[in-house]
A = this chain, B = another copy of it.
């Protein structure tokens, strides 16, 4: 089962909000609902968001009712504008829609029925490519892992964050499959606990040794020599190598750097935004305070009634804290200005 796929004329998603308690796979037949599913984090993870948006636009192609090609094209373009607003930080969403719009433009003047199939075929291709790219990321990244390593992993970057397999977690799956013994310290990743809920679930299914830790504890394990490597994903990477990723990535990278522990971001080239010179330009989504305030222990709310909260969902890690960025074209190293541009354009 894939995180996102096209079935029965609609988009089927694994509802990641209720894992690991229940596995539900709602089917979306309305592209507005697909946009809301991205906003509400039914699906999350930069690569998964990109492919979901692509399928969402393919769905819009079938929903948009004009039989006149030019009118239909305008309708689909409007749908793309709507889907583009679903979440701001992961550039893969805009990247996927741009690619779909390029395909749309290429169908200009073609009969609507044919153009609809072309759009869907493009989204299908992107889903297949995502898996192939992830497998390649896994191969390239696994070379960074040595037998016996303990690895800190933040958020979820596994099969659930992509169409299948995953990015940083895919690297861990690959090293495990190669027979390397490894242990993962799984950051629980407040506020939405993607580590505790999703990464722990994926590692358990893969039979990989792990311990859950609070995000607060990562520093202790780094400073006491118990960690050999940190692996994270990325939601947007600027031209200079600054990485926007799940909130908490930045302090983890700073502390890893301070302790000489290698820190890699693993991401497909679609995550790289060469239009932004550095991370200062990356829009950081601030989500509802309920994600922070909704926590319970033993059925009781944790924070006193009437509390307020701030909830930035991402932070920016300046490139100087990174050891490298694993892409499907190889491991980019400083100066990223050159290595990333070469990977994207070369």
Contacts and interface: CB of A to CB of B under 8 A. Distances in A.
Interface of A: 18, 20-21, 185, 188-191, 193, 196-197, 200-201, 204, 210-221, 223, 246-248, 250-252, 254-255, 258, 284, 289, 292-304, 306-312, 314-316
- Binding site of A, secondary structure by majority: helix, strand, loop or mixed? mixed
Contact of A251 (B204, B211, B216): B216
Interface centre among A188, A252, A294, A316 (most CB of B within 10 A): A188
B297 A299 contact: no
21 contacts: A20-B303, A188-B292, A193-B295, A197-B302, A197-B304, A204-B304, A210-B308, A212-B307, A212-B308, A212-B309, A212-B310, A213-B310, A214-B311, A216-B246, A216-B248, A219-B250, A219-B251, A220-B314, A251-B251, A251-B255, A296-B299
A216 B292 CA distance: 11
A213 B298 contact: no
A200 B307 contact: yes
A320 to B, nearest CB: 10
A302 B193 contact: yes
Contact of A217 (B204, B310, B316): B310
Contacts of A213: 292, 309-311
Contacts of A221: 310, 312
B185 A21 contact: no
A254 B247 CA distance: 17
A190 B188 contact: yes
